[in-house]
Chains A and B, each alone.
Chain A
C-alpha cells in the first residue's frame, strides 16, 4: 500500500495514483479493475458510483469511473483503466459492486464496443441492435450507407434476446438468453403514451394488475449530443447542454460554464454569480412545479397539473424578460452572462416570492392532504437508502430515502456558500416522501432567492473572453445540483478549440434504473405514479 496525496484513501499497490483537477485518480490495469472497484467500495467506502466515462485514447480503449464516498460526499475519486485490444475489447463488469454500473456499462458498450464480462445484459442501450460501428470511437465510420435511415420500425422481438459475455480461460465467450417466457403478458408503455413524460418505452410484464418486471428501452430521442460536442466549439456546446434536461436547462448550462471556467482558471464576476444562482433556483422551482403537476396528473388529478403550469408561467415570464427565451434561455456564457438582467427582474422576482408561498399552501390543500392521494402515495414504491446509493438515485428522489447528496451543500458552487438554506430530507423513501421533498425544495429555493435578490452586486456581468476558447489539455469534471439530481460534465481536452470527449452525467438515467428496481410487485397504476415521483426527463437520459 502506498500513501496517496489524499489522506483518507490508500491506493492499492497495483494502482498508479495522481491528483488531477482536485480529484484523486487511480490508474489500474484492466485485469485488476474489479479488484480495485471492490477495494474502493468496501475498504475506502466509495459506495456511490457517479458515472462511467467511456474513452477512446486512440491506441487504447477504456473508461473513467467517477465515484464518491457518501460519508465524504465532496470528494471525487476516479478509477481509470484501459485495454489495448481494439478488436474485442473487454473489461470486467463492476455491476455486482454498484448496481447502477449495469446501465452505465451498457452505455459504454453501445458507444465504444467494450464488452463487460459478468454484466447480465449487454444489449445496446440507445442505438438499435443492428447499428454498425461504435459512434464515439475515434475511428468510427459515419458513412450513411452503413447505417441507412430505417423507414420501418424495428421488430420488438430484437429486444427480447439478451446477449451476455463471460470469460472462460481468458477467452471471451458470448451467450444469449430470452428475456421473457413463452406466455408472459407484456404490455408496452410508450414510446407514445400519455403518462411517459416523453418518449420512454417500458416493456412491462404483467400478472393481472401486478407488475412482474419492467424493461426500459431507451434511445428514442437519442441525438448523439456527446458525439456532436466533439466537433463543436465550447460556446456552441453550451446550447446543447440545455437540450438535455430541458426543464433544468439553466442549471445544466451552468455546469458546463463552471467546468470551462475551472479549466481556464477564470472566475465569473460576482454579479454574474449571483444572477446565475437566482436563475438556477427559479429554474428549479419551475421544474418542480411541472414535476409536481405531472405527477398529480399521472394520478388522475388534472386540476393540479393546471395549477402547476399556471404558477410555472410566472417564472417563464421572468426568464423571457431577461433572456428572451422561456425554456431554453441561452443566458449563461463561459465567463459570465450573455446580457445584463432586465430592469424589472428584481421587482418581478420579489413579487413572485410571496405569490409562490401562497400558492404552495394552496397546492398542499388541493393534493397533499387529500386522503386518496395520501393513500396511494404512502408506502408505495419504497426505495431504501442502500438501494438509492447503489442505484445512484441522486436528487430529490435520493434525499427522500435519507441520502444527503445535495451538491449545493456538500460542494458549494456559485453563491450557495453565501446563503442560508436547508436541504429537505426524509427517510421513508416512498412515493409520498419524494413528493414532499420536491414541494419543500420549492420553499427552500424561495428562501435562497430572497437572500440574494437584494444583494446583487453592481459591476460587469461577464468576463471578457476571446472569441475562440481553447481549454488547456486535461480532464475536467464538474458536478452541479439540477432539479433531478447530480448533473455532471466531464470534459477531456487536448488543447484544441473543440473538446476531445465530453460526457454528461445524467441524473435521470439512474432514476429509470431505480424505477426498474422498485416497481416489481406493485400495480400498473403505481408504475405510472412512481415514474412521476422519480420525475425523470427522457432527453436527459437519452442525450
Chain B
C-alpha cells in the first residue's frame, strides 16, 4: 500500500539539502499549518454542500442547484458572501471576549483536526497520548461557546451557553469513556499505533460486543458534543433564535458555523480511527485474495469513505428526529448513557483479560 510518508520524506530531504535544520523545520511547520487550514476549509465547504443536498433528499426537495452543475459551488458562493458581510458591533458587549470566543471554538476544532491520521503516512500530530490529546483539545470549544454566550450581553445567548456548558461537559464523559474502552483493548493511546493494530481486523470486529456498544455510545455522545439535532439545545432555533451565536455576524458567525461542521467531521473521523480501522482496508483473516484486492484501494479513500459513512449517519439522525428537552437530554446522559459506558468499560477489561 502506497504511503504518504514517501512524499513527506522527499519534502523533508529536499528542504534539508537547501537550508539548515532550523529553517527546514520552520518551513515544514508552516507547510503543515497551511495544509491543515486549507483541508479544514475545503472539507467544511464540502460538508455544508453535502448536508444541504442530503437533507434535501430526506425532505423530498432538490437542494442547491443553481451555482455550478448540481449546485456544487453553492457553498463557495456562500463563503464569499459571508466574508463580505458586515461585522455588527454589539453595544455593551465585552468586546475582547466577544471576538476571542469565535477563535476559541475554531482553534479547538483545528487542533483536534490536526491530530487525525488521514491516510497511511499522513498524520501531523502523533503523540504517545494521542487519545488524551484529542479529548483535551476538543473540549476547548466549550470555553468558546460559554464566552460567546456570556460576552454577547443577550438573554438568548446566555441561556444557550448555559445549556451548552451543561451538555458538553456531560457528554464529554461518555465520549471519553467510550474511547477508553478501545484504549483498554489496544493497550496504547497513540493513534498511529491504534490504527496499525487494526491491520488484521478492525476493533469493532476484534473487540466483540463491548466494542460495538462503545461504538454506538461514542456516536451518540459525539453527536451530542457537536451540538447537532436532536441535541441542538444550545442553538435551538425555535426557542433561542440561534442560541449562543445569536449576536454574531459575518465571518465571526462563519467561524461557529465552520466549527460545527468540522466537529461533526472530527467526531466521525475519531470514530473511524478508533473503531473502524482508520485508513486500514477491510481485511478478513484467512481470505488472502480478498485482502490483497482491498489493499489496492488507497488508504485515503478508505479513511474518507468510512468517515463519510459515519457523517451520513449523523445527518440521517439530525433530519429525522425532533429535539430533546434539556432535562431529558441530561437525564439521558447521567442515568442511561454513562452507566452503560462504565459497565461496558468493565466488560471490555474482562474481555481483554480473558
Contact = CB atoms under 8 A, between A and B. Distances in A.
A526 B325 contact: yes
A300 B323 contact: yes
A209 B239 CA distance: 11
Interface string A171-202: 00000000000000101000001110000000
A303 B59 contact: yes
Interface stretch (B228-236, B276-284, B338-346): B228-236
B327 to A, nearest CB: 7
B241 to A, nearest CB: 6
Identify which of B155, B156, B238, B240 gathers the most chain A CB atoms within 10 Å of its CB.
B238
B217 to A, nearest CB: 17
Contacts of B96: none
B321 interface: yes
B323 A375 contact: no
Contacts of B237: 194-195
A497 B326 CA distance: 58
Contacts of B58: 303
Interface string A508-536: 00000000000000011111100000000
B236 A525 contact: yes
B236 A367 contact: no
A296 B59 contact: no
B322 A300 contact: yes
Contacts of B236: 300, 525
A30 interface: no
Contacts of B230: 300, 372
Interface residues of B, number: 29
Nearest to A195: B238
Contacts of A130: none
Contacts of A306: 59-61
A373 interface: yes
A397 to B, nearest CB: 19
B68 to A, nearest CB: 24
A525 B59 contact: no
Interface string B305-339: 00000000000000111111111100000000000
Nearest to B321: A372
Contacts of A209: 159, 163, 326-327
Nearest to A366: B320
Contacts of B55: 303
A205 to B, nearest CB: 11
B227 to A, nearest CB: 12
Contact of A525 (B60, B61, B233, B321): B233
A526 B230 CA distance: 15
B26 to A, nearest CB: 48
Contacts of B320: 301, 303, 366, 370
Contacts of A299: 238, 322-323
Contact of B324 (A297, A303, A372, A527): A372
Contact of A187 (B61, B156, B233, B324): B156
A123 B327 CA distance: 36
Contact of B238 (A185, A372, A523, A528): A528
A223 interface: no
Identify which of B58, B159, B321, B322 gathers the most chain A CB atoms within 10 Å of its CB.
B322
A310 B59 CA distance: 9
Nearest to B238: A195
Contacts of A206: 159
Interface in A356-390: 366-367, 370, 372-373, 375-376
A310 B229 CA distance: 22
Interface in A480-529: 523-528
Given A300-B230, A302-B59, A376 B241 contact: no
Contacts, number: 82
Interface string B224-268: 000001101100111111000000000000000000000000000
Identify which of A185, A297, A302, A525 gathers the most chain B CB atoms within 10 Å of its CB.
A525
A285 to B, nearest CB: 19
Contacts of B319: 302-303
Contacts of A301: 320-323
A375 B329 CA distance: 11
Identify which of B159, B232, B321 gathers the most chain A CB atoms within 10 Å of its CB.
B321
A373 B323 CA distance: 8
A19 to B, nearest CB: 50
Given A300-B229, A303-B58, A303-B320, A376 B325 contact: yes
Contacts of A297: 238
A370 B322 contact: yes
B59 A523 contact: no
A97 to B, nearest CB: 36
B91 to A, nearest CB: 16
A298 interface: yes
A307 interface: yes
B241 A193 contact: yes
A300 B59 contact: no
A527 B163 CA distance: 17
Given A298-B238, A372-B321, A523 B327 contact: yes
B59 A375 contact: no
B354 to A, nearest CB: 35
A139 B74 CA distance: 60
Contacts of A185: 155
Contacts of A296: 322
Contacts of A302: 59, 319
Nearest to A187: B155
A376 B229 contact: no
Nearest to B229: A300
A370 B59 contact: no
Nearest to A532: B238
A378 B89 CA distance: 43
Identify which of A298, A300, A526 gathers the most chain B CB atoms within 10 Å of its CB.
A300
A206 B319 CA distance: 30
Contacts of B159: 187, 206, 209, 524
A370 B237 CA distance: 21
Contacts of B233: 525
Contact of A195 (B239, B322, B327): B239
B325 A370 contact: no
B308 to A, nearest CB: 21
A194 B324 CA distance: 18
Nearest to B242: A194
A524 B320 CA distance: 22
A424 to B, nearest CB: 23
Interface in A283-312: 296-304, 306-307, 310
A157 B34 CA distance: 53
A371 to B, nearest CB: 9
A528 B237 CA distance: 11
A209 B60 CA distance: 35
A525 B326 contact: yes
A295 to B, nearest CB: 10
A525 B239 contact: yes
Nearest to A380: B325
A47 B232 CA distance: 43
A523 B229 CA distance: 18
Contacts of A367: 322
26 contacts: A194-B237, A194-B238, A194-B241, A195-B238, A209-B159, A209-B326, A298-B238, A299-B323, A300-B232, A300-B321, A301-B322, A302-B319, A303-B320, A306-B61, A307-B59, A307-B60, A310-B60, A375-B324, A375-B328, A376-B322, A523-B325, A525-B233, A525-B325, A525-B326, A526-B325, A527-B239
Given A206-B159, A372-B323, 12 more contacts: A187-B155, A193-B241, A194-B237, A209-B163, A209-B327, A300-B321, A304-B322, A306-B60, A307-B59, A367-B322, A376-B324, A528-B238
Top-5 shortest CB links A-B:
A300-B323, A195-B238, A301-B322, A299-B322, A306-B59
Interface of B: 55, 58-61, 155-156, 159, 163, 229-230, 232-233, 236-241, 319-328
Interface of A: 185, 187, 193-195, 206, 209, 296-304, 306-307, 310, 366-367, 370, 372-373, 375-376, 523-528
